[in-house]
Amino acid sequence: MAVCIFSMMAFAVYSVLSVGLSAYKRIKGFAGSQNDALLAFEKIERDIGNTFTINGIEFTGSASSFSFPDIAGTAGPVVKVTYYFDAEAGNLIRKEQAYSAAVKKSEGEGTTSAELSPLKELKFEYCLYDEGKEACEWKDKWSGAEPPIAVKFEAAFDSGGKTVKVKRIVLIPVSL
C-alpha cells in the first residue's frame, strides 16, 4: 500500500515539474527570438538616426532592402550602410562601405554581417508625407538625395512553432 501511494505522489511531482519545464523552455525561446529582433531593429534605428544628405550616396529603398549615408561607421567617418533581406538564408544582412567605395559603386568592397536570423519574411516601406492629407503615404520604393520621413519594417519569424510578427516605424530626424 505504501509503495502504491509513493508511486502516485512521485508521478504527480514528475508531471508538475515536466509541465513547468516545458513552459519555461517555450517562454525562454519566444523571449529570445523576440529580443533578438528588437535588438536588430534598435541597431537599424540608430543607423537611420545618423543619416544625412551628401553628394554621391542617395537614400534608396525597396521592399527587401535600403541604403543610406551614415556617419561614424567602422569603415570611416562617412559610410554607405545597406540593409537587405536574404530570403534564401532567412537573414537580415548589414553591409557597410567606405565613402570612396560607395561613390565608385564598388559593390564587392565593404564589411558584411548577419544581424538577425532566422526570418520567414521581412518588408520595408517608406513614408512620403502628403501635406494635403496631412498623412503618411507608405511606398514600397524610395530613391533620391532626400530621405523619407520614416521607414517601417515588418519581420516574421518562427518562435516555438508559432509565427511571430514584429513591426517598427522609425522617424528620420534629418527629414523632419
pLDDT digits (tens, 9 = 90+) for 23-68: 777 666 555 667 777 888 889 999 998 899 999 899 999 999 999 9
Tell me the range of 49-53, 113-117, 125-129, 161-165 where mean pLDDT is highest: 125-129
Residue 162: strand pairing partners: 159
Give the start-end residues of each E strand in 15-149: 59-61, 65-73, 76-86, 91-98, 111-116, 121-130, 135-139, 142-144
HSE, side-chain direction, 13 A CA sphere, residue 118: 8
Q: Which of 16-25, 64-73, 74-83, 89-98 has the lowest mean pLDDT?
A: 16-25
Number of other residues whose CB lies within 10 A of the CB of residue 25: 11
CB 54 within 8 A of CB 69: yes
Q: Does position 143 have pLDDT exceeding 60, yes or no?
A: yes
- For the stretch 5-17, pLDDT in tens is 999 999 989 888 8
Burial group, residue 1, by CB count within 10 angstroms (0-12, 13-18, 19+): exposed
The x, y and z cell numbers of residue 36, run together, are 533578438
Of the chain, the percentage scoring pLDDT greater than 70 comes to 94
Calculate the alpha carbon distances from 59 to 31, 137, 145, 163 in Å: 33, 17, 6, 31
Of the chain, the percentage scoring pLDDT greater than 90 comes to 39
pLDDT of residue 116: 81
Q: Does position 125 have pLDDT exceeding 60, yes or no?
A: yes
pLDDT of residue 108: 75
Q: Does position 81 have pLDDT exceeding 80, yes or no?
A: yes
pLDDT of residue 144: 86
